[in-house]
Structure 1
Amino acid sequence: MKQLETDVAIIGAGTAGLSAYRAVKRAGIRALLIEGGPYGTTCARVGCMPSKLLIAAADAAHAASQAGGFGVHIDGRLRVDGVQVMARVRSERDRFVGFVLDSVHGMPEDDKLSGHACFVSDNVLQVDGHTEVHAGRIVIATGSAPNIPDPFKGLGERVIVNDDVFAWTDLPARVLVVGTGIIGLELGQALARLGVRVTLLNRSEGVGGLRDPAVLANARAAFAGELDLQLGAQVTGARLADEAIEVQYRDSQGEEKTERYDYVLAATGRRPNVAGLGLEKTTARLDERGMPAYDAATLQLCGLPVFIAGDVNGASPLLHEAADDGHIAGNNAAAYPDIVKARRRAPLSIVFTDPQLARVGKRYDALAPQAVVCGEVDFANQGRARIIRKNQGLLRVYADRGSGRFLGAEMAGPAMEHVAHLLAWSLQQELTVQQMLDMPFYHPVIEEGVRTALRMAAKKQMEAELDYVRECEQAVNSE
């Protein structure tokens, strides 16, 4: 068996792995990038980029179908060419993947090794039985994989995950999407707007990862007005039936239903790719799922010269978080044992639906209600939102009751991808709501809705300060 030595071995050449590799090389030490599959990140191949291509086509179809609301009428029937839609998705997807491949091909050949890596010990990896790698430090960046719910396991090619959608050469007639998280909601709405008969089914009442009850209720109403949204439903059975898949489920009212679909798209979360890594052969502490214990601030496996980055750590499956993870893990692996705790950027997540959903800062359910003031704006009557006929959604902002410092926001509405960035930047700068209100707001723009919400929060915070002063005065007077 061939033997190699390196300073840092990185398992996985996705976003986190490539970021870790670059960090190690900048430190001026040896790095070996090990990849067991095709090069090209999840984002470029089957994630954020191809999904946005599908959504862009869906948005074009929806805009055309809704043009009559502006007095603009399209003669004849709107026609979606599924073959052409999917050809563009695949072509542009391949272009994005090409950029990643160009980057990988530009690396020195001695820095790359093909094959599946498995731990032999804390510092030794075996790659496909042909190479043994001895590394001073190791970065695990093996990503995650879609989860298939139990009722649909073993039912073959009619049960798909988001990866499979982008291999289609045409659009199917009918699809059941199981799961209304980010992936299920984005793809489900896009397919529906492209003429596919879609049912979105979820066991809970949640959509898009929203936590604020008011924002969640508003978003649910918006999606239910357009989509066949089956929340609080339970799949009770599934079987193959001719060239389709037959699914039985119980809806939120307890009614049993049986429907046939061309495909079932499983969008019920992702699981870390740790199986087969041989972590049990290391001295890492593993939980019942085989996940290793690690320090979230340094990404180091407890007590080991091993670091874990990206989707595989199960923290936040987002590209920018994976890139940051790779940077942190790579830097700490290069500097080991002189590792440092990283300062994280402001939490930010966006769902590219219509209305768009987003979260900034602390999750709503992690806030202490008695210590927070909230401000909100309903986009139903917001000026720019009505102009562009995107007037649905709700934005809620949260601020510290005592200091007025901005803590975060949750939102559904038009152009929330841009609003969320402005709010994330404000959060990272530790601004107060009053400092945010001192910034310029143009007219008429969607951001004026942000000002409305901030004004409400600022007013509540000022009232809280006055209440505190009055309480203090009363306490002094009573002595």
Structure 2
Amino acid sequence: MKTLNIDVAVIGSGSAGLPAFRAAKAAGASVVLIEGGAYGTTCARVGCMPSKLLIAAAEAAHAARNTAPFGVHVDGGVRIDGREVMARVKRERDRFVGFVVESTESIPAEERLIGYAKFIDDNVLEVGDHTRVHAKSIVIATGSSPYVPAMYQALGERAVVNDDVFAWDDLPRKVAVVGAGVIGLELGQALAWLGVDVTMLGARGRVGPLSDPAIKDYARRVFSDSFRFEANAQVEAATREGDSVHLRYRDSAGNLRDDTFDYVVVTAGRRPNMDKLALHNTTLELDARGVPVFDPVTLQAGNHAVFIAGDANNVLPLLHEAADEGRMAGHNAAQYRNASPALAPLVRRAPISLVFSEPGIAMVGARHADLAAGSFVTGEVSFEDQGRSRVMLRNRGLMHVYVDAASRRFVGAEWIGPDAEHIAHLLSWALQMNLTVDAMLAMPFYHPVVEEGLRTALRNAAAQLTAA
């Protein structure tokens, strides 16, 4: 077996691992990048990009069906060719993956190892059956995988996760989507708009990431127009019947229902990939999930020369957060070349979360559920009569912005509405700049644009503060 002595070993070549590798190199460390699976990030292969390709097809179909209110009539029905839809999804997905693979393979071969890594002790890794790596520090950037409860594992290939959806050659006739989180909402609406009969079975009233009761209730009503949405369902039994799945569940009203589907799409969350690392061979303290206990500021596991970045730590499983964490983990890991490593803190950007639905869902800054009652005012706007939104016939949505009552500083927002992804960026920049509601209202607003709705919400909040 080959032996390699190195400053930093990075396990995983995804959205956190690649930035960690580059940051450690930039700090002057010798680095090796270890990958057990195929190159190409979760985002490119089975996440952000293929899902947006499916959503784009769904939006095209939806738009084609809804031209009549403009006086534009499409004679005849809209025909959706599922095979053509999925062929484009896979073709363009492979193109995006190719860019990532090309970038990874541009790393010199002597700085890359192929094979699953397992810990022999705190600073020694065995990669496959061919290389033993002695590293001064290690970055764990192994990502995460979809969680499938035991009830659905027994369904075999008729229970799928989002990874599997993008491998379909054609669209199914009828599916149940279990879980009403971000992935569930995006896939559920996209499949429904592409002609698939969709039933979504959520739990505990969840609607994506939303915590504001009024926004959550509005969003639930919106999605109920696209598919059967049971936000408080309880699945009691799931059985395989040939090439179908039979589900018995209680709906949101407590009524017992039986239905049969081609597939169950399980979107019950993701879990960090730790099972192949043999962490029991280390002295690292592990939490209940089997993840090393770590400092969220430095990403260091205890006092060990081990750092955890990206979806593997499950703090904020978003691409931009994974990249930021990877860079900081790589930088801090490189400090272990020195006798007294000086670790830098991770400075997080303003929180931003999106659901690529129509209308879109967005959250910026503090969640409504996390704000202390009486410490803030809520500015509201309905997009139902907002000018530009009505012009485009996209006038569905409700927004709440939260402003600190003492400092008048903008602290957060939750909403569903048109062009949410773009407004979210404006608000995240305002939050990161610590702007007050007055400073935000002093900014330019063109006419007629959807952002005028945001201005209405801000004015509403400012008026409450002035009247107080």
Q: TM-score, normalised by structure 1?
A: 0.96
Q: CA deviation at 1:335?
A: 2.1
Matching residue of 2:370: 366
Supply the distance in 2 between the matched residues of 1:144 and 1:395 (Cα, whole angstroms).
32
Supply the distance in 2 between the matched residues of 1:262 and 1:5 (Cα, whole angstroms).
52
Q: CA deviation at 1:362?
A: 1.1
**Post-superposition CA distance 1:328-377 (Å, at most 9, x none):** 11111112321011211000010000110011001211111211111010
Moved more, 285-294 or 157-166: 285-294
User: Which structure 2 residues correspond to residues 59-458 of structure 1 after superposition, within 5 A?
Assistant: 59-336=59-336, 337-458=341-462
Structure 1 outlier segments of 4+, above 6 Å: none
Give the partner amino acid of 1:6. Answer: I
**Post-superposition CA distance 1:292-324 (Å, at most 9, x none):** 110001100010000000001011111111111
Q: CA deviation at 1:289?
A: 2.3
The answer on whether the counterparts of 1:36 and 1:115 sit within 8 Å (CA) in structure 2 is yes
Give the partner amino acid of 2:419. Answer: A
Q: CA deviation at 1:195?
A: 0.3
Supply the distance in 2 between the matched residues of 1:221 and 1:253 (Cα, whole angstroms).
15
Give the partner amino acid of 1:363. Answer: R
Matching residue of 2:464: 460
RMSD: 0.9
Matching residue of 1:474: none
Give the partner amino acid of 2:374. Answer: Q
The answer on whether the counterparts of 1:151 and 1:235 sit within 8 Å (CA) in structure 2 is no
Give the partner amino acid of 2:200. Answer: L
Supply the distance in 2 between the matched residues of 1:129 and 1:109 (Cα, whole angstroms).
18
Give the partner amino acid of 1:108. Answer: P
The answer on whether the counterparts of 2:180 and 2:203 sit within 8 Å (CA) in structure 1 is no
**Post-superposition CA distance 1:216-272 (Å, at most 9, x none):** 111111111222101111111111112111111111222211111111000010011
The answer on whether the counterparts of 1:151 and 1:236 sit within 8 Å (CA) in structure 2 is no
Give the partner amino acid of 2:350. Answer: A
Q: CA deviation at 1:5?
A: 1.1
The answer on whether the counterparts of 2:325 and 2:346 sit within 8 Å (CA) in structure 1 is no
Q: Secondary structure at the match of 1:334?
A: helix
The answer on whether the counterparts of 1:376 and 1:395 sit within 8 Å (CA) in structure 2 is yes
The answer on whether the counterparts of 1:182 and 1:351 sit within 8 Å (CA) in structure 2 is yes
Q: Secondary structure at the match of 2:38?
A: coil
Supply the distance in 1 between the matched residues of 2:289 and 2:442 (Cα, whole angstroms).
49
Supply the distance in 2 between the matched residues of 1:176 and 1:267 (Cα, whole angstroms).
10
Supply the distance in 2 between the matched residues of 1:203 and 1:104 (Cα, whole angstroms).
40
**Post-superposition CA distance 1:67-100 (Å, at most 9, x none):** 1111111011110011110000000000000100
The answer on whether the counterparts of 2:197 and 2:227 sit within 8 Å (CA) in structure 1 is no
Supply the distance in 1 between the matched residues of 2:133 and 2:154 (Cα, whole angstroms).
36
Supply the distance in 2 between the matched residues of 1:85 and 1:306 (Cα, whole angstroms).
44
Supply the distance in 2 between the matched residues of 1:138 and 1:6 (Cα, whole angstroms).
10
Matching residue of 2:43: 43
Give the partner amino acid of 2:362. Answer: A
Gaps of 5+ in 2: none
**Post-superposition CA distance 1:137-187 (Å, at most 9, x none):** 100000000011232122210000000011111111111100010000000
The answer on whether the counterparts of 1:375 and 1:453 sit within 8 Å (CA) in structure 2 is yes
Gaps of 5+ in 1: 465-479
Give the partner amino acid of 1:351. Answer: V
Q: CA deviation at 1:203?
A: 1.8
What's the % identity of the aligned pairs? Answer: 57
Matching residue of 1:476: none
**Post-superposition CA distance 1:82-137 (Å, at most 9, x none):** 11100000000000001001101111001100011011111111112321100011
Moved more, 82-91 or 364-373: 364-373
Matching residue of 1:472: none
